[in-house]
Amino acid sequence: MVVHPDQAVAELMAECPKCGATTTYGLELAWRLRTVTCSECSLSMRLGDRDLTGLRDQLVEARVRMDRLIDTGPVDQ
């Protein structure tokens, strides 16, 4: 998942298991469609509850790491 700090949009990036291409969809659109289609080979990849739960868990872990970085400040000043 890619979060753009200057935009209120989160994007889902998916690597195609067939051809290896990376496809990007808006997270909300991908969730409504419940599928992501590869931009290269048109393989349809299903997006389920487990996928979104996994993304949320990874986001929580990333937030904890970011909070630690902010709290410790830059190494070299």
Report pLDDT digits (tens) over 10-41: 898 999 999 999 999 988 999 999 999 999 99
Residues with Cβ within 8 Å of residue 58, at least 6 apart in sequence = 1
The burial of 52, by beta-carbon neighbours within 10 Å (0-12 exposed, 13-18 middle, 19 or more buried), is given as middle
Higher pLDDT among residues 74 and 67, named by residue:
67
Compute the distance between CA of residue 45 and CA of residue 29 in angstroms, rounded to an integer: 14
Tokens of 70: 């902010």
Predicted local distance difference test score (pLDDT) of residue 59: 85
Tokens of 25: 């969809």
